[in-house]
């Protein structure tokens, strides 16, 4: 297995946001002190841009 590190571009943003959503969903099940709004991904996507 090899890993290639590339600079993120606009085309990577949907995949990054999806990974972030999965990460946050996992953690909300572990720690209920991390509630998420349903539209929190929008703010994260804006942050990336």
Domain assignment present for residue 43? The answer is yes
What is the tally of helices (H) and strands (E) in the chain? Answer: 2, 0
From first to last of the 49 residues of the chain, give the pLDDT tens digit.
899 999 999 999 999 999 999 999 888 878 888 788 889 999 999 999 9
- Coil vs helix vs strand at 17: helix
Residue 40 counted as domain residue: yes
Query: Residue 48's CB: how many other CB atoms inside 10 A?
Result: 13
Query: Do residues 45 and 17 make contact, with C-beta atoms less than 8 angstroms apart?
Result: yes
- Please tell me the total count of domains within the chain: 1
* Domain assignment present for 16: yes
Residue 3 belongs to a domain: no
Do the domain assignments include residue 1?
A: no
Identify whether the C-beta of residue 49 lies closer than 8 Å to the C-beta of residue 12. no
Q: Domain for residue 4, yes or no?
A: no
Q: Which domain holds residue 36?
A: 10-48
Taking the complete model, does pTM exceed 0.85, yes or no? no
């Amino acid at each position: 297995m090899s890993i290639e590190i590339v600079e993120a571009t606009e085309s990577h943003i949907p995949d990054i946001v999806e990974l972030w959503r999965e990460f946050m969903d996992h953690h909300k099940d572990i720690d209920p002190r991390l509630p998420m709004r349903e539209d929190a991904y929008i703010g994260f996507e804006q942050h990336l841009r």
